[in-house]
Chains A and B, each alone.
Chain A
Amino acid sequence: MTDNTVSCGLVWDLVVSQSVDQSQRWVLTTMQRHGGELVTMLWRILGNEQDVCDAYQSTFLRLAHCEAGKRPKHTKAYVFRTASNVAVSMLRRKMAERNRLAAAADAGTTTVKVQDTGNPRGNEASVDGDLHTKDLQDNLRLCIARLPEHLRNVVTLRDLAELPYRQVGKVLGISAATARVYRCKAIRLLALWMNREKRREQ
């Protein structure tokens, strides 16, 4: 009698777990459908392969556990916004760490100037300024991380994920025209900040 109950319980557990797994198959489908675009976007935001893998992993982990394992209404929007937020928070953490290191280096030595991007370079090298492509890219990444959320979302989706304005609007729940206006504002702010950074470097 007890054996029968135990076997029934096991069968029930198996059935329940299989149904849960069936319902979570959409995670893999989402990965298959949007994985490429997500990796490209994360790579452009972070510029480091290990960081990209970490951000990608935490995005899908959040997706699998959001709303108690249920599929969100707009999966694409959820995935893109989560990935962008995760990447930007990673970037901010990095930025804070670099600033801390730079401050420590400034306090320790007066001859070596440590830039905001964290690359220890001499005074001669800093004259190169924006001609150095790596500096320009790092500068842009840092400035994007400083943008207000609504502008940053539009810039990451439009310029880094290369989604058309209509889709950007859908993902963010705004109209395409609003997305255009936000992008314009973001570009103006980025230009201003990058100019300031350039002046400070000179």
Chain B
Amino acid sequence: MTMRIELRNRKDSSSYKTRNQNGDKCRRIRARLHKAIANHLGLEAIWVQRHVAMCPRCQHRLASVGRVNLAFELLKSQPHSLDLLSRANTQAIGVLKRTLREGPKADKLKTKRPEPALAEKCSKYTHSTANVAACLAILLLTKFGVFSCMDKFQTQGQKALKQYYASQVGQDLADEIFVA
């Protein structure tokens, strides 16, 4: 019985692995296809650019889509006051039940301010982190490189000395010296 369960588990895990591998492959192929399509059929493609330069209808269409995108960008870039979140929270909490209104969580929400995402917070440290990582990598490489070179140098030197002794005093004596 236990053997059967084990076999089934193995089968399950192997099928899971193959499914995962297939999924990775699919994802890679999809990414490649997307890239290829973007290169050959996207707006950046040379033949599209050439056509747009000659066709007033396409120019018109592109301009109107561009205007929509510009309007979206303008909407996104428009800032609101910093205390808007706390004001909205205060107003919304004001209409909830009394026990919810008076909890410590509610007080915290009433003074909450918008915070940047973790990725944005860390973005200012990216440059310095990259520098430190590069320094560490260089140090590690140097350290390992130097040690391996020294090892190599030692073994080569030993070999040369052994050969010299073997040629001068004989193989037996040389073996005795270097084994000792």
The 8 Å CB contact of A21, one of B67, B94, B95, B99, is B99
How many B residues touch the partner, as a band? 35 or more
* Contact A44-B76, Cβ < 8 Å, known A35-B88, A53-B91, A56-B91: yes
The 8 Å CB contact of B80, one of A17, A25, A43, is A43
A131-151 residues at the B interface, CB under 8 angstroms:
133, 136-137, 139-141
Q: Does B145 count as interface, using CB distance less than 8 angstroms?
A: no
A53-70 residues at the B interface, CB under 8 angstroms:
53-54, 56-57, 59-61, 64
The 8 Å CB contact of B64, one of A17, A56, A159, A195, is A195
CA distance A187 to B105 in the complex (A): 41
Interface secondary structure of A, over-half rule: helix
A155 to chain B, nearest CB (A): 9
Q: Is the CB of B65 within 8 A of A187?
A: yes
B77 to chain A, nearest CB (A): 10
CA distance A47 to B91 in the complex (A): 18
Q: Is the CB of B88 within 8 A of A53?
A: yes
B12 to chain A, nearest CB (A): 27
Interfacial residues, chain A to chain B (CB-CB below 8 A): 17-18, 20-21, 24-25, 27-29, 31-32, 35-36, 39-40, 43-44, 47, 49, 52-54, 56-57, 59-61, 64, 130, 133, 136-137, 139-141, 159-160, 162, 187-188, 190-192, 194-195, 198
Interfacial residues, chain B to chain A (CB-CB below 8 A): 61, 64-65, 67-72, 74-76, 78, 80-81, 84-85, 87-89, 91-97, 99-100, 103, 105-106, 108-109, 112, 114-115
